[in-house]
């Protein structure tokens, strides 16, 4: 009454090479630790070149290593893209609002929240006395 322990098929068939195993571990670590990957890498992934490279890599991995690795690669790439920091300000693109550069001054709420805006729309506050 001896039972043989069989490994899952993705271990015995697709992870036969140490290079594939290493690549799989790197993919898993990328997915797991995606939030702490540096902003420069994320910004590159979000650029035109980075997107072409990422999609090409997913295609190449699917062709060479199979769809399971391709799925992991696509997930890692999408998680990188998802966390890319975008510095597009809400009033970019013209309109009646004139942009002003910040001069190392922060509003109280910006200093509390740790925000560092690159452009601002209003640099003055209009106040008036209280009237009954």
Please give the residue ranges that form the binding site for other proteins (CB under 8 A): 8-10, 28, 31-35, 39, 67-68, 71-72, 75, 78-79, 82-83, 85, 113-116
Helix-helix angle 48-65:39-46, to 10 degrees: 90
Distance CA 111, CA 49 (A): 35
**Residue closer to other proteins, measured from CB, 41 or 71:** 71
CA 30-10-53 angle, to 5 degrees, is 40
Q: How far is the CB of 79 from other proteins (least distance, A)?
A: 6
Burial 27-44 (b: 16+ CB within 10 A, else e): beebbeebeeeeeeebeb
Q: How far is the CB of 71 from other proteins (least distance, A)?
A: 5
**Residue closer to other proteins, measured from CB, 40 or 132:** 40
**Residue closer to other proteins, measured from CB, 94 or 114:** 114
Q: How far is the CB of 34 from other proteins (least distance, A)?
A: 6
């Amino acid at each position: 009454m001896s039972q043989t322990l069989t490994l899952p098929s993705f271990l015995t068939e697709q992870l036969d090479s140490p290079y594939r195993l290493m690549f799989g571990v790197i993919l898993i670590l990328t997915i797991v630790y995606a939030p702490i990957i540096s902003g420069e890498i994320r910004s590159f992934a979000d650029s035109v070149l980075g997107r072409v490279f990422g999609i090409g890599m997913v295609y190449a991995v699917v062709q060479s290593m199979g769809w399971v690795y391709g799925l992991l690669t696509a997930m890692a790439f999408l998680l990188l893209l998802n966390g890319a920091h975008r510095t597009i300000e809400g009033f970019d693109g013209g309109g009646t609002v004139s942009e002003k550069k910040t001069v190392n001054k922060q509003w109280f709420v910006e200093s509390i929240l740790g925000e560092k805006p690159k452009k601002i729309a209003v640099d003055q506050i209009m106040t008036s006395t209280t009237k009954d």
